[in-house]
Amino acid sequence: MSDPVLAVFEATGAYLRGHFRLTSGLHSPEYLQCAKVLQYPVHAAGFGGALGRQFTAMAGGKKIDAVVSPAMGGLIIGHEVARALDCRFVFTERDATGQMTLRRGFAIEPGETVVVVEDVITTGGSTREVIGILNSCGATVLGAGSIIDRSGGQADVGVSRIALATLQVTAWEPASCPLCQQGLPVVKPGSRNVA
């Protein structure tokens, strides 16, 4: 592969092909399993540093107070971006009702400048949920970032967004999925259960 980020996914066996149910609920013939890449600290640090440099440029000299990521997929890369930015890292997670929330004593103070980091964006749903929480805390959300943008640059999360690699990957609603129509079993390799 010519893209160095995607080459790392290929080399680590993290660029999967088959029939997958994405976190968004959509079905796709391709899946990027970031956990398989991020199990190697050298890749996690490299990707975190690259995103950190882009956020630093976006901030234009303004200090970033925190990186916030949704659990589970954003934990490792969010932490590495926070390390690169020399700021703190907190994460959101779903409560028993499925609502995304800050827990474990984490707090974001009014006026803090924060960025949101995920591993992969497809529709931007989880990122928008996190941004909603941060806005309700009175934070200034500078931008959002991910290692991979599967939307081809189309996902709108309401703030500026960066990605190390942007792909236009085919995805279907389950009812119109040709792989389902062929009777191929669907695999859910992500971190969130979707019916």
Please write the tens of the pLDDT for every residue from 61-95: 999 999 999 998 899 999 999 999 999 999 999 99
Cα separation of 117 and 127, whole Å? 8
Average pLDDT over residues 106-126: 94
Alpha carbon distances (Å) from 192 to 17, 21, 93, 121:
19, 10, 11, 14
Would you call 113 exposed, middle or buried from its count of C-beta atoms within 10 A (0-12, 13-18, 19+)? middle
Average pLDDT over residues 156-183: 94
- Among the residue ranges 17-21, 101-105, 190-194, the one predicted with the least confidence is 190-194
Q: Which residue has the tokens 């959002």?
A: 144
pTM for the model:
0.89
Say what the pLDDT of residue 190 is.
Answer: 63
